């Protein structure tokens, strides 16, 4: 279900040769340095020309591959979810793989066919995400509730920033004062209080990896380049939020939206297009160009302007004494991406063509790793990630760990300019502010063909199509809460006031998920998978049979990442969360 593959250190090589020689080379490299890193031999071995059995790559620790700069999984961009056993009918694939008819849509991946076809390389047919098959319940028995609660309440973001600022680090320093405190770092409309110009926005998490019930909480912030924040060389809050609103229109394709109260007389601009200047307008309509010092930059359909940056913190699941779920200070990961180069649709077409060409000739496309500056995705974006080390301190991701991010932020059909969260922002002024699941209803998606809403809530539809509360149908709590022997309890799901009640876990599950991920941190086994599962996955392939289609035609679905917010009713930019 994943078309694109990413080579970490070479652009093309024979996958057959790789499979034959990998174990020999790695075994020689590792055992020459130390025999302590080699675990007992397993029965899963590789044959070479001499028919002599050589150690399998599964014998070594993930850290061994990093220490010796060896590739464990050349297909790291293929996420674990692509190995789900669909039984020809359970479809999580549609959330990523889509083909759209609009000729002006910059995303030209057109990979909707992958709902009905495995397009894996010879290497990719084998599932390398072996952490999916580990019994974490056994591993967490000796971890106390008190320990894990104290652990997730410890700030590891501030020490990272101080370390980067006081070292020879040559990349960006993603600083936002008090980000570990969540909502406290921002004002009522999401503007960072520290003057960094990061803006938090409220959005509906993508089904279903980023549902708290499946292991993580998160937040996302956006920042535009300096000209979009200024008027005549001086910072203007009104200009900044007007430009953010115009960007929202460009990404979603809408003609108007609401924005925080703005003085048109001061700006000398008729933003709401009513033919007069008002001192307190709350509406902005689509314009040809941005305003302020960015007035020469045109709005580009479904594309961000050059210099746009996103900051995404992936966190543990905070849990209060009464079971309240929130974003705790500790981060599992910190992700940063910036559009270094604006590529118009015509040039993007060439990038998508290159991807298809590489695949056609059997080559593995590559991503350029620029070390401290991040990894280029080939579509104008630079991506950089930090993840916990064995002591829980955030460190830069290894190149193969970073390549994992390319599976989603490079070439899949559903994204808008390689992003997920901002196209799903709560519409207008109500969407500016720190993420707050309690203010979001299960609104439906729109139909790409006519921009009309689907018939029912997005999450309800997802539960029905997937047959569970996660891609693997592994989340037993979701199955017990929202399913009956006849499928989804539709009336129960539709009766909920917000998505918070649907996608947050019980206190017991939250604690278990946090402990399970902590064991992955201690192992430093991210190369083997970072999805949090408590018991070995049973609805997941270890080896894909490409002759069998993932889904029958009647179970393949058209879908658009954008949402119809007219069904949502919030009370304004209030914030959930940190306790």
Domain count, the chain: 1
Helix H or strand E encompassing 381: strand 381-388
Kindly report whether the peptide bond that precedes residue 288 is cis, defined as omega within 30 degrees of 0.
no
DSSP H helical ranges for 361-457: 399-409
Judge whether 26 and 68 are in contact, CB under 8 Å: yes
Q: When comparing pLDDT for 497 and 56, which is higher?
A: 497
**Predicted pLDDT of residue 52:** 33
Terminal Cα distance for the chain, rounded: 40
Is 426 inside any structural domain?
yes
Average pLDDT over residues 324-345: 97
Cβ burial, residue 51 (10 Å; 0-12/13-18/19+): exposed
Say yes or no to pLDDT of 485 above 80: yes
For 123-265, list the strands marked E by DSSP.
199-200, 217-223, 230-231, 234-235, 256-262
**Predicted pLDDT of residue 354:** 83
Judge whether 303 and 294 are in contact, CB under 8 Å: no
DSSP H helical ranges for 144-236: 145-152, 157-165
The position carrying tokens 């991406």 is 337
Among 544, 538, 531, smallest CA distance to 131 is for 531
Average pLDDT over residues 540-553: 94
- Token pair recorded at residue 295: 């007035």
What's the Cα-to-Cα distance from 15 to each of 5, 22, 156, 494, rounded to whole Å? 12, 10, 40, 48
Q: How many C-beta atoms surround the C-beta of residue 274 within 10 A? A: 12
Q: When comparing pLDDT for 92 and 52, which is higher?
A: 92
Is 406 inside any structural domain?
yes
Note the pLDDT tens digit of each residue in 236-294. 999 999 999 999 999 999 999 999 999 999 999 999 999 999 999 999 999 999 999 99
**Predicted pLDDT of residue 363:** 62
Is 19 inside any structural domain?
no
**What does DSSP say about strands 256-262 and 318-319: parallel, antiparallel, or unpaired?**
unpaired
pLDDT band per the 50, 70, 90 thresholds, residue 55? very low
CA distance 539 to 537: 6
Say yes or no to pLDDT of 561 above 60: yes
Is 235 inside any structural domain?
no
Domain, as residue range, for 500: 79-225+306-566
Note the pLDDT tens digit of each residue in 376-430. 999 999 999 999 999 999 999 999 999 999 888 888 999 999 999 999 999 999 9
CA distance 535 to 476: 10
Is 260 inside any structural domain?
no
Q: When comparing pLDDT for 360 and 439, which is higher?
A: 439
Helices (H) and strands (E) in the chain, counts: 14, 18
Helix H or strand E encompassing 209: none
**Predicted pLDDT of residue 121:** 85
Note the pLDDT tens digit of each residue in 86-130. 999 999 999 999 999 888 899 999 999 999 998 888 888 999 999
**Predicted pLDDT of residue 447:** 87
- Averaged confidence pLDDT in the chain: 88
Is 32 inside any structural domain?
no
pTM above 0.75, yes or no: yes
For 366, phi then psi, to 5°, come to -130, 160
Average pLDDT over residues 41-67: 54
Say yes or no to pLDDT of 214 above 60: yes
Q: When comparing pLDDT for 535 and 573, which is higher?
A: 535
Q: Characterise 95 by phi-psi region: left (phi > 0), alpha (psi -120 to 50), beta (else).
A: alpha
**Predicted pLDDT of residue 147:** 98
Among 548, 566, 521, smallest CA distance to 143 is for 521
pLDDT band per the 50, 70, 90 thresholds, residue 361? low
The position carrying tokens 């980067």 is 164
**Range of weakest confidence among 9-18, 33-42, 144-153, 395-404:** 33-42
The position carrying tokens 């009918």 is 89
Q: Return the bridge partners of 387, or none.
A: 333, 395
Is 534 inside any structural domain?
yes
Among 183, 278, 298, 197, smallest CA distance to 241 is for 197
For 275-349, list the strands marked E by DSSP.
281-285, 309-315, 318-319, 325-326, 331-339
Say yes or no to pLDDT of 6 above 70: no
**Predicted pLDDT of residue 325:** 98
**Predicted pLDDT of residue 364:** 64
**Predicted pLDDT of residue 33:** 40
**Predicted pLDDT of residue 36:** 34
- Token pair recorded at residue 396: 């830069």
Say yes or no to pLDDT of 573 above 60: no
CA distance 543 to 545: 7
**Predicted pLDDT of residue 360:** 64
Say yes or no to pLDDT of 47 above 70: no
**Predicted pLDDT of residue 452:** 80
Say yes or no to pLDDT of 344 above 80: yes
């Amino acid at each position: 279900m994943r078309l694109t593959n990413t080579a970490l250190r070479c652009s093309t090589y024979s996958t057959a040769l790789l499979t034959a020689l990998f174990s020999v080379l790695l075994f020689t490299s590792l055992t020459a340095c130390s025999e302590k890193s080699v675990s007992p031999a397993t029965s899963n071995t590789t044959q070479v020309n001499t028919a002599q059995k050589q150690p399998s790559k599964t014998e070594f620790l993930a850290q061994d591959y990093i220490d010796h700069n060896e590739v464990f999984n050349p297909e790291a961009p293929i996420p674990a979810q692509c190995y789900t056993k669909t039984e020809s009918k359970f479809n999580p694939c549609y959330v990523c793989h889509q083909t759209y008819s609009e000729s002006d849509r910059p995303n030209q991946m057109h990979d909707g066919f992958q709902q009905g076809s495995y397009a894996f390389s010879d290497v990719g047919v084998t599932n390398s995400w072996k952490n999916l098959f580990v019994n974490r319940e056994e591993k967490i028995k000796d971890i106390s509730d008190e320990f894990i609660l104290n652990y997730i309440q410890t700030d590891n973001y501030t020490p990272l920033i101080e370390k980067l600022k006081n070292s020879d680090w040559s990349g960006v320093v993603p600083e936002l004062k008090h980000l570990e405190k969540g909502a406290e770092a921002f004002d009522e409309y999401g503007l960072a209080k520290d003057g960094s110009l990061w803006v938090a926005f409220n959005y509906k998490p993508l089904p279903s990896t980023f549902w708290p019930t499946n292991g993580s909480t998160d937040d996302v912030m956006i920042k535009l380049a300096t000209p979009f924040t200024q008027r005549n060389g001086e910072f203007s809050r009104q200009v900044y939020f007007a430009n953010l609103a115009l960007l929202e229109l460009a990404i979603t394709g809408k003609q108007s939206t609401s924005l925080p109260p703005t003085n048109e007389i001061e700006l000398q601009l008729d933003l709401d297009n009513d033919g007069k200047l008002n001192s307190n307008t709350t509406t902005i309509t689509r314009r040809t160009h941005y305003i302020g010092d960015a007035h020469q930059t045109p709005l580009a359909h479904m594309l961000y302007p050059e210099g746009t940056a996103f900051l995404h913190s992936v966190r543990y699941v905070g849990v209060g004494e009464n079971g309240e779920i929130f974003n705790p200070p500790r981060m599992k990961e910190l992700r940063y991406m910036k559009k270094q180069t604006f590529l118009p649709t015509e040039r993007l077409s060439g990038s998508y063509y290159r991807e298809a060409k590489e695949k056609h000739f059997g080559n593995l496309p590559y991503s350029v790793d620029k070390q401290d500056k991040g990894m280029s995705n080939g579509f104008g974006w630079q991506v950089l990630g930090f993840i916990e080390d064995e002591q829980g301190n955030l460190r830069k991701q290894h190149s193969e760990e970073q390549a994992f991010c390319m599976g989603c932020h490079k070439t899949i059909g559903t994204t808008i300019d390689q992003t997920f969260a901002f196209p799903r922002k709560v519409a207008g002024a109500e969407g500016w502010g720190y993420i707050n699941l309690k203010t979001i209803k299960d609104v439906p998606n729109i139909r790409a063909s006519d921009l009309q809403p689907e018939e029912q809530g997005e999450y309800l539809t997802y539960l029905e199509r997937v047959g569970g509360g996660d891609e693997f149908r592994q989340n037993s709590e979701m199955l017990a809460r929202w399913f009956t022997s006849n499928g989804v309890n539709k009336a129960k799901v539709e009766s909920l006031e917000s998505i918070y009640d649907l996608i947050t876990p019980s206190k017991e599950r939250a604690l278990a998920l946090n402990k399970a991920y902590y064991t992955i941190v201690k192992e430093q086994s991210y190369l083997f998978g970072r999805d949090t599962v408590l018991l070995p996955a049973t609805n997941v392939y270890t080896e894909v049979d490409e002759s069998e289609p993932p889904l029958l035609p009647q179970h393949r679905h058209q879908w658009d990442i954008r949402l119809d917010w007219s069904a949502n009713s919030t009370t304004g930019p209030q914030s959930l969360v940190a306790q």
